[in-house]
Amino acid sequence: MSSANSIDSVAIRFAGDSGDGMQLTGDRFTLETAIFGNDLVTFPNFPAEIRAPAGTVAGVSSFQVHFSDHEILTPGDAPDVLVVMNPAALKANIGDLPPGRTVIANVDNFDERSLHKAEYDSDPLHDGTLDGYTVFEVPMTTLTVEAAKTVGAKPRDAERSKNFFALGLVSWLYSRPIEPTLEWNRAKFSKDTLVADANEAALRAGWNYGDTTEMFTGVRYEVAPAKLEPGTYRSISGNTATSYGLIAGAQAAGLPLFLASYPITPASDILHELSRHKNFGVRTMQAEDEIAAITLAIGAAFGGHLGVTTTSGPGLDLKAEALGLAVQLEIPLVVVDVQRGGPSTGLPTKTEQADLLHAMFGRHGESPVPILAASTPGDCFDSAIAACRIAVTHMTPVILLVDGYLANGSQPWKLPDPNAIERFPVEFATEPNHVAEDGSSEFWPYARDERLVRPWAVPGTPGLEHRIGGIEHADGTGHISYTPANHQHMTEVRAEKVARIADDLPPLQVSGADDADALVLGWGSTFGAIEEGVRRHNQGGGRAAHAHLHQLNPFPSNLRVVLDAYDKVLVPEMNSGQLAFLIQGHFVKRVRSLSKVAGVPFTAGEVAEAIAALSAERDDPEGHQ
Amino acid sequence: MSEPQGATAATLTRKDFQTDQEVRWCPGCGDYTILASVQNFLVEIGADKSKTVFISGIGCSSRFPYYMDTYGIHSIHGRAPAVATGLATARPDLDVWVITGDGDALSIGGNHFIHALRRNVNLKILLFNNMIYGLTKGQYSPTSELGKITKSSPAGTADHPFNTVSLALGAEATFVARTLDMDRPLTEETLRAAHRHKGASFVEIWQNCNVFNDKAFELVTGKSSRADNQIRLQHGEKITFGPDRERGVRFTPQGRAEIVEVADVGIDEIAVHDAHREDPSLAFSLSRLSNGPYGPTPIGVFRDVDRPTYGELVEHQILAAQERHGPGDLASLFASGSTWTVG
């Protein structure tokens, strides 16, 4: 066995045709890496088409895994190793690979037909395209077919296992344990043992190929386990974490969870996940449309369930009117928006953060809705619980913003202690809350407590029969009212009720340099790239700080104080400057927007570069940056 | 749903179901009679006010919940069947009613309407059909007759209307009935059958809008013409009508319903109405006898068959999952899949 050099982190990108199983390969490699003990971040990237024309650049699917012996926060600015299963995968990804790094190519697929499909005029492996790279040409298909023949697989079927060959080879290259994949493979294909046997043969062949050919001497690396906090871990994606958070949030509230959703990329996995956990009393409905999904959840909430709907941008558009109804009813509801590139159908499988202003203002009339945003896959769990808590304790719909990058990306997640999750048990109203002029007792659905929160009385409670509706109503009684003074009052009360939620939320934390000359203010999934970018900037002698918003409405109560401490504020976001717009409007404070709407997340390098540029700018007493 | 429910049955009167809110429909509106019929019916069955919920959308009829001293939601246009589906699925113990109109249920909310029916959600859907938009002051609706002249169709509509009963049957409804606003005995009898039915009960109520579409149903409801134009469907009885029951309905060998003179064909030829027939084809044929109040029209219960309700199936899945896996345990949920330990 050739000896391995030691390095602190590696980013590997597996790229192939949509039908080549690259997402599965990436998932399995991630799990091996997690079990090995590295810290890691992943970035799956795939086309919206289930099977785009085979072999074309449009049909390329990729999965990047960044793993290290220390804490890391991003999937890596650029891959160190690019595994390509065909010419199209090379073409789509080589631009991201810095010179000097490694390409492992399935040379079997670099035939004339595949080259033509990828629109290469000549073979890039031999025409100088890859000069400056370390290139390994491996006949993966041939070797897979040979290996699978020994277990009785026919060549046409055996070919499909070539991603396991790639996985075996890369696993050997980085000393990953393949046992977890072998176990998974046997369980997954227990009913089709020929497939399981072929996959196993291919995986072992890949490993052995690395081990015996001595071809890879000098590029074999070991990345030691990271020093993670002690505990039991698993790898978790944002969508799974959101699902678990909703289950835990409902338990913390003491309510049954009711999820109604319409299938939409990239949110559907939450519906899939929650529909598997009926033993928790979770009711899931696949609604007839997005509007039905939210109104079903509203109906369930009226009945005393924790109503939730999950969607992505186009669905949030359709839910707008019903969200306004929930605002007007003042009924608890959680809306999870897994943002994707827009407008319209946009980029269904790519990430973006461009629904912030939509969440904030995307309804007619004055319609304030609390907005939360998750910052990492694991944070989706905590954010979902927080959304449930705010919804039921403040009698309001809440929007939780996630995005495609968080939803599909994964990270090691330290299993939380269920007993340590803060409980917020709901107490439904059971008694009348008002004495009428004639001395009789009544129930007023819009009588408010000191936080302006109304009572939640559910059908089945004798004596508290009441009607609520989308039409404007008098405070207290809930009777229809069109009077000028009442509408003014109700508009203000609904706004103030949401504003007071800030009292219930933790203050904004600032990390980075104590005496920073610039603040980077972010929200949502840019957390990793910003934190890493700030660290790099500061390691290079810079002095930047990082604050990350988890609450977009209302803002944390100390946000003004935090902003006032810095002359220079950089706001990176995967939109055209939506948080920057809110901050400038809200605080009349000039900030610098760093915008990216490319369907892929920021790299730490991009953030570090922008911080350096802003820091280097001459201080301008007029504030004209 | 059991009826009557508990000790309240003996003590409640219609007044107990009325709210202190002034009823604000136009004087002479058919909605008043429907409101009275529903309130009387709830008294009669001894309904439990606290377990009764009325959910509406938008339109004249949708103000209904404000006038019922039960639980209620006045929701948004077209969405009442979805709101009610959510509630009825979450809370199978409740008696949930949807109040909707022809614009609300068949135009803006058409999708929710058909899906509530095919799922057989345990709901009573009362559709007040006046063949016009009232609240927005007189535009044509999806049940307005072709060529109807309204504010939004000065040259007459080019829209072919829905046959509401055909639509409901096509949407896999298990209970479909039609009644008339002014015919309180028929309405209460129909409500009784709808309430007895498990699952989605669809009741179309022809309702006169005396401001924007007055006397639209006159041919079928008017004193002088109704005997000739009301075909009263009674399960298990021959389908005959006319002042002397001299006319009847028979099915052709192709399954089409046709109106015949009893004397011409003999009483044996006349069809016996079977509302419980599993196959909906004959009910559909009956619905095609009339595409609106323009001639002899079947009223009463077209179809009333048993099928598991959506709520029952959902509850069954939850109970089965709990039986199989025990009640959910968060710690094992979090640890599902592959885990590893550090430190």
**Which residue in chain B has the smallest CA separation from A458?**
B71
For A114, list phi and psi in degrees, rounded to 5: -65, -40
**Which residue in chain A has the smallest CA separation from B339?**
A234
Q: Is A514 helix (H, G, I), strand (E, B) or coil?
A: coil
Q: Looking up tokens 């559909």, which residue turns up? A: B284
**B333 to chain A, minimum CA–CA distance in Å?**
8
* Rounded-to-integer distance, Cα B207 and Cα B220, Å: 12
Find chain B residues with C-beta within 8 A of A460's C-beta: 50-51, 91, 93-94
CB neighbours of residue A263 within 10 Å:
14
Find chain A residues with C-beta within 8 A of B314's C-beta: 283, 285
Find chain A residues with C-beta within 8 A of B330's C-beta: 244, 247-248, 251, 418, 421
- Count up the domains in chain A and report the number: 4
| Per-residue pLDDT at A1 | 41
pLDDT in tens, A213-233: 988 877 788 899 998 899 999
* Rounded-to-integer distance, Cα A133 and Cα A544, Å: 35
pLDDT in tens, A474-529: 999 999 999 999 999 999 999 999 999 999 999 999 999 999 999 999 999 999 99
3-state secondary structure A543-562: CEEEEEECEEECCCCCHHHH
Residue A102, token pair as written in the block: 């490694």
Beta strands B71-74 and A467-469, pairing class: parallel
Residue among A496, A474, A478, A498 at smallest CA distance from A487: A474
Q: Looking up tokens 């997640």, which residue turns up? A: A413
| Per-residue pLDDT at B230 | 98
* Rounded-to-integer distance, Cα A77 and Cα B73, Å: 52
pLDDT in tens, A513-569: 999 999 999 999 999 999 999 999 999 999 999 999 999 999 999 999 999 999 999
Where a domain ends, among A158, A192, A222? Answer: A222
Find chain A residues with C-beta within 8 A of B324's C-beta: 279
Q: Are A315 and A290 in contact (CB under 8 A)?
A: yes
Parent domain of A442: 427-464+474-504
Residue B298: asked if its preceding bond is cis (omega within 30°), the reply is: no
Q: Is residue A234 part of a domain?
A: no
Cα A246–Cα A251–Cα A257 angle in degrees, nearest 5: 55
List Cα–Cα distances, A52 to A16, A43, A46, A102, B17, in angstroms: 12, 20, 10, 27, 61
Find chain B residues with C-beta within 8 A of A37's C-beta: 340, 342
What's the one-letter identity of residue B189?
E
> Are the Cβ atoms of B337 and A256 closer than 8 angstroms?
no
Residue among B336, B319, B318 at smallest CA distance from A282: B318
For residue A459, the 8-state DSSP code is T
Ordered strands of the A510-512 beta sheet = A510-512, A544-549, A518-523, A568-573, A592-595
**Which residue in chain A has the smallest CA separation from B67?**
A467
| Per-residue pLDDT at B10 | 55
Segment A134-163 shows an average pLDDT of 94
How buried is B35 (Cβ within 10 angstroms: 0-12 exposed, 13-18 middle, 19+ buried)?
buried
Q: Are B267 and B289 in contact (CB under 8 A)?
A: no
* Rounded-to-integer distance, Cα A579 and Cα A561, Å: 17
Q: What is the CATH number of the domain that holds A306?
A: 3.40.50.970
| Per-residue pLDDT at A50 | 79
Residue B158, token pair as written in the block: 């080019």
Task: Inform me whether the C-beta atom of residue B253 falls under 8 Å from chain A C-beta atoms.
Answer: no
Residue B4: asked if its preceding bond is cis (omega within 30°), the reply is: yes
A183 and A41, same structural domain? yes
| Per-residue pLDDT at A49 | 84
A165 and A122, same structural domain? yes
Segment A174-188 shows an average pLDDT of 93
The pLDDT mean for chain B works out to 95
Residue among A547, A561, A553 at smallest CA distance from A502: A553
Task: Inform me whether the C-beta atom of residue B74 falls under 8 Å from chain A C-beta atoms.
Answer: yes
**A187 to chain B, minimum CA–CA distance in Å?**
12
Q: Is residue A171 part of a domain?
A: yes
Find chain A residues with C-beta within 8 A of B90's C-beta: 256, 258, 283, 299-300, 303-305
> Are the Cβ atoms of A295 and B91 closer than 8 angstroms?
no
DSSP H/E element including A82: strand A81-84
| Per-residue pLDDT at B271 | 98
A436 and A414, same structural domain? no
For residue B297, the 8-state DSSP code is E
**Full DSSP string of A25-78:** HHHHHHHHHHHHT-EEEEEEE--SSTTPSTTSGGGEEEEEEEEESS---SS-SS
Q: Is residue A623 part of a domain?
A: no
> Are the Cβ atoms of B72 and A468 closer than 8 angstroms?
yes
List Cα–Cα distances, A599 to A29, A45, A403, A404, A437, in angstroms: 24, 10, 11, 9, 61
Residue A328, token pair as written in the block: 């007007």
A202 and A107, same structural domain? yes
Residue B116, token pair as written in the block: 């509530």
A413 and A451, same structural domain? no
Q: Is residue A569 part of a domain?
A: yes
pLDDT in tens, A414-444: 999 999 999 999 999 999 999 999 999 999 9
Residue among A203, A198, A249 at smallest CA distance from A388: A249
Q: Looking up tokens 């004397």, which residue turns up? A: B263
| Per-residue pLDDT at A391 | 98
- Segment among A29-43, A196-210, B88-102 with least mean pLDDT: A29-43
CB neighbours of residue A371 within 10 Å:
25
Q: What is the CATH number of the domain that holds A66?
A: 3.40.920.10
Segment A609-617 shows an average pLDDT of 96
| Per-residue pLDDT at B6 | 44
DSSP H/E element including B298: strand B297-304
- Give the nearest partner residue to A325 out of B50, B75, B341, using CB atoms: B75
Find chain B residues with C-beta within 8 A of A329's C-beta: 73
Q: Is residue A448 part of a domain?
A: yes
Q: For residue A285, give every residue at least 6 positions away whose Cβ sits within 8 Å of its Cβ, in sequence order, or none.
A: A258, A259, A260, A261, A293, A296, B85, B86, B89, B314
- A416 alpha-carbon distance from chain centroid: 19
List Cα–Cα distances, B333 to A276, A280, A281, A310, A382, in angstroms: 11, 10, 14, 20, 15
Q: Are A589 and A409 in contact (CB under 8 A)?
A: no
Interface test with B, best of A31, A240, A296 (most B CBs within 10 A): A296
A213 and A98, same structural domain? yes
Q: Is residue A609 part of a domain?
A: yes
Cα B328–Cα B329–Cα B335 angle in degrees, nearest 5: 125
| Per-residue pLDDT at A51 | 78
Q: Are A541 and A517 in contact (CB under 8 A)?
A: no
- Give the nearest partner residue to B93 out of A229, A460, A461, using CB atoms: A460
- Give the nearest partner residue to A233 out of B53, B85, B342, using CB atoms: B342
State the pLDDT confidence band at A625, using cuts at 50, 70 and 90.
Answer: very low
Q: Looking up tokens 């074999």, which residue turns up? A: A220
> Are the Cβ atoms of B334 and A415 closer than 8 angstroms?
yes
Q: Of all residues in chain A, what percent carry a pLDDT higher than 70?
A: 98
The tally of CA atoms less than 13 A away on the side-chain side of residue A217 is 6
Segment A145-161 shows an average pLDDT of 93
Size of chain A in residues: 625
Find chain B residues with C-beta within 8 A of A322's C-beta: 76, 79
| Per-residue pLDDT at A568 | 97
For B81, list phi and psi in degrees, rounded to 5: -60, -30
State the pLDDT confidence band at A620, using cuts at 50, 70 and 90.
Answer: low
> Are the Cβ atoms of B82 and A295 closer than 8 angstroms?
yes
> Are the Cβ atoms of A285 and B86 closer than 8 angstroms?
yes
> Are the Cβ atoms of B321 and A278 closer than 8 angstroms?
yes
- Give the nearest partner residue to B338 out of A35, A231, A458, using CB atoms: A35
Residue-range domains of chain B with CATH = 8-216+308-319 (3.40.50.970)
State the pLDDT confidence band at A306, using cuts at 50, 70 and 90.
Answer: very high
Interface test with B, best of A319, A438, A467, A477 (most B CBs within 10 A): A467
Residue among B56, B92, B51 at smallest CA distance from B71: B51
A92 and A25, same structural domain? yes
The distance in angstroms from the start CA to the end CA of chain B is 57
For residue A231, the 8-state DSSP code is E
Q: Are B233 and B255 in contact (CB under 8 A)?
A: no
> What is chain B's pLDDT, residue by residue, as a tens digit (343 residues)?
444 444 444 589 999 999 999 999 999 999 999 999 999 999 999 999 999 999 999 999 999 999 999 999 999 999 999 999 999 999 999 999 999 999 999 999 999 999 999 999 999 999 999 999 999 999 999 999 999 999 999 999 999 999 999 999 999 999 999 999 999 999 999 999 999 999 999 999 999 999 999 999 999 999 999 999 999 999 999 999 999 999 999 999 999 999 999 999 999 999 999 999 999 999 999 999 999 999 999 999 999 999 999 999 999 999 999 999 999 999 999 999 889 888 7
| Per-residue pLDDT at A243 | 98
Q: Is residue A469 part of a domain?
A: no
- Give the nearest partner residue to B318 out of A260, A278, A292, using CB atoms: A278
| Per-residue pLDDT at A3 | 57
> Are the Cβ atoms of B330 and A283 closer than 8 angstroms?
no
Q: Is residue A227 part of a domain?
A: no
A48 and A164, same structural domain? yes
| Per-residue pLDDT at B184 | 95
A586 and A514, same structural domain? yes
> Are the Cβ atoms of A232 and B324 closer than 8 angstroms?
no
Q: Which 110-169 residues of chain B touch chain A by CB within 8 A?
A: 111-112, 115
> Are the Cβ atoms of B111 and A462 closer than 8 angstroms?
no
| Per-residue pLDDT at A619 | 65
3-state secondary structure A23-35: HHHHHHHHHHHHH
The tally of CA atoms less than 13 A away on the side-chain side of residue B333 is 27
**Full DSSP string of B302-338:** EEE-----HHHHHHHHHHHHHHHH-S--HHHHHT-S-
> Are the Cβ atoms of A469 and B83 closer than 8 angstroms?
no
A594 and A526, same structural domain? yes
Q: Are A453 and A439 in contact (CB under 8 A)?
A: no
Q: What is the CATH number of the domain that holds A570?
A: 3.40.50.920
A584 and A522, same structural domain? yes
Q: Is A610 helix (H, G, I), strand (E, B) or coil?
A: helix
Q: Which 33-72 residues of chain B touch chain A by CB within 8 A?
A: 48-53, 55, 65-66, 68-72
Find chain B residues with C-beta within 8 A of A470's C-beta: 74-76
Ordered strands of the B230-233 beta sheet = A467-469, B71-74, B52-56, B95-101, B123-129, B201-206, B175-180, B297-304, B230-233
> Are the Cβ atoms of A459 and B94 closer than 8 angstroms?
yes
Residue A98: asked if its preceding bond is cis (omega within 30°), the reply is: no
A266 and A193, same structural domain? no
